[in-house]
A and B are shown apart, each in its own frame.
Chain A
């Protein structure tokens, strides 16, 4: 089942229907409830295993490619419902990193974030930083507020998976968001809920989304 070209799920306990993109119960006894988003990392396998060599992976056999390979590459196929997309700010299939809070949503153009390396932006009133430390690195997103204080970041020179804040010069691991040196050593950045989407799909769920592009 689809709602605005996004997956609709049901739970086996109550048969309530949930829209995947925003985690809302749209029909059934739990209607109106919301799923909490667990922030996640989206990466190629090469990027992932470099950052998390000790991780585990869902067992997989014999799936040589994405079933959506052709669909993903075709700029003229945006969803299957045939919705008209009135927005002209971006091509419908432009890949964005969507970041959301309870109140607000911002889409960051993925290729522009890659080009910039590090982007500090806002999602409503929440200050976030998106970091892509080179092509070997996934884009990771953190809330810039730590212990009541909003920090500013830049990429650290000569250290591939690290950024530093300009206030204290502390260095932060991009793998887990922990400060690994400096006066804030041991402090922890929170991940912001961010996930990749096609522009048309994101827009369907968050029509009032802000947009960051270069």
Chain B
């Protein structure tokens, strides 16, 4: 059930390619703004992993990582740019890694 979801968190980045209404808005704007249709950025539901020793990432590539009792998992933010959310289970806990 959803409320058990856990969120691992992010930098605030917003899509540069989808610039929509750029009229001036106040800093306390409380509206929800639709800038893309639902699922236009597809979340990941069945993540697959490989050992760090085999992974091919750039040295300066930013990752989000979780550190557990028995292991650690990293998620590339460059990959997350295109998916924004990974639904995963880490050491028995359902988590959403979001960016």
Contacts and interface: CB of A to CB of B under 8 A. Distances in A.
A52 B12 CA distance: 25
Interface string A43-65: 11110110011111111100111
Given A37-B9, A41-B65, A56 B96 contact: no
Contacts of B11: 42, 195-198, 201
A38 interface: yes
A159 interface: no
A186 B43 CA distance: 39
A5 interface: yes
Contact of B18 (A4, A9, A38, A80): A80
Contacts of A5: 12, 14
Contacts of A81: 14, 21-22, 25, 29, 33
B7 A23 contact: yes
A6 B38 CA distance: 15
A57 B66 contact: no
Contacts of A48: 52, 63, 65, 74
Contacts, number: 248
A172 to B, nearest CB: 14
Interface stretch (A83-91, A150-158, A162-170): A83-91
- The binding surface of chain B is classed by DSSP as loop
B76 to A, nearest CB: 5
Interface stretch (A28-36, A112-120, A126-134): A28-36
A80 B23 CA distance: 10
Contacts of A7: 10, 14, 84, 98-99
| Most chain B beta-carbon neighbours within 10 Å: one of A16, A27, A35 | A35
A65 B53 CA distance: 20
Contacts of A65: 78
Nearest to A194: B9
Given A44-B62, A58-B48, A77-B16, A13 B2 contact: yes
6 contacts: A30-B2, A57-B55, A58-B73, A58-B74, A68-B81, A201-B12
Interface of B: 1-3, 5-36, 38, 44, 47-53, 55-67, 71-79, 81-82, 84-86, 90, 93, 95-99
8 interchain residue pairs of minimum CB distance: A201-B12, A71-B16, A55-B72, A56-B49, A46-B59, A41-B65, A45-B57, A67-B81
